[in-house]
A and B are shown apart, each in its own frame.
Chain A
């Protein structure tokens, strides 16, 4: 018994070309297409119609560089965003910096330690430290001018060098 071969299948499939819609179908197709286009146009919102008209106008003018228009708009928007961010974040940072500096000086140096009188004139140079600065809690020493205090022992009492 014969079997269907590939050629038979091909021939049968080619006969499907004869499956056709009613004769008037192709004649009416264009008319139907126009009708649908008009309906679609009427359904569109006004702004879209205006936008489309504007695009048509621009396209007919053939404005050079129109292709880069979206890229240019994006670039302008990005620049504007970056600038506005800088403007709003700039002063805030400066405030934070000055606030951090002030407490370090204030707490490290009490008022009594800033006397303008000569250090030798100080009545009590005993055990009380001149400054109550807790150096262990600081990572940097405060940048104040060095203070030199003369020893209570006269220089002449020092042991003489012997060669």
Chain B
């Protein structure tokens, strides 16, 4: 996923701080798809994602005057989104139900999708949609912190350094969480491959 340009953001932030609400609207439009993906993959629920995303932008708007530009707006807004989502997940606990969005039809043209289905792999052996369902279930079995790292690294394509800034942990912690989460996911999916009907 393409990273937004920091200079453009700086100008929009500065205009918002000067009272230009339209500039903040531009930031909302720009960051909505990216933040939606982040929150959605952490909650696995469309309705919760929508509410949280509204709250994230509302909080950002209220506190944007306190934003002094020590980090980029990108990092700042992602930190707000991750922290609010983690707090929400703590409150929600185990009471959740999956409310997943459909896969976009353009996935058929994705290079990785074609690779996965064409080459000889365990993915080819299993039904891909079923495998995705299992993957979502496996994701929900991870702890909230591990799921956050997996989402940011694998799905959003963020580098380790950026994730460590957002989560305010060391890069080593990010790497170790990622390693552990990958192992967990591998085990869950392997179990499914061996017993596809379970």
Question: Interface residues, chain A, CB within 8 Å of chain B?
Answer: 1-6, 8-22, 26, 29-30, 32-33, 36-37, 40, 56, 59-60
Contacts and interface: CB of A to CB of B under 8 A. Distances in A.
Interface in B95-152: 100-104, 106-107, 110, 112-113, 115-116, 120-123, 125, 131-132, 135-136, 150
B170 interface: no
A36 B28 CA distance: 14
A19 B103 CA distance: 4
B131 A12 contact: yes
A13 B46 contact: no
Interface stretch (B69-77, B80-88, B159-167, B186-194): B186-194
B197 interface: no
A4 B190 contact: yes
A10 B123 CA distance: 12
Interface of B: 1, 18-19, 25, 28-29, 32-33, 36-37, 40-41, 46, 53-54, 57-58, 61, 65, 100-104, 106-107, 110, 112-113, 115-116, 120-123, 125, 131-132, 135-136, 150, 154-155, 157, 182, 185-186, 189-190, 193
A60 B65 CA distance: 11
B54 A32 contact: yes
A17 B132 contact: no
Contacts of B122: 1-4, 8
A4 B18 CA distance: 52
29 contacts: A2-B125, A3-B193, A4-B122, A4-B193, A5-B186, A8-B116, A8-B121, A9-B185, A9-B186, A9-B189, A12-B123, A12-B131, A12-B132, A12-B189, A14-B112, A15-B112, A15-B113, A18-B107, A18-B110, A21-B46, A26-B32, A26-B33, A26-B36, A29-B28, A29-B53, A30-B25, A33-B57, A36-B54, A56-B19
Contact of A60 (B19, B61, B113): B19
Contacts of B36: 21, 26
B182 A15 contact: no
Given A4-B193, A10-B154, A13-B185, 7 more contacts: A11-B123, A12-B131, A13-B150, A16-B41, A18-B106, A20-B104, A26-B32
Contact of B58 (A11, A13, A16, A37): A37
Nearest to B150: A13
B104 A16 contact: no
Contacts of A12: 116, 123, 131-132, 135, 189
Nearest to B25: A30
A37 B57 CA distance: 10
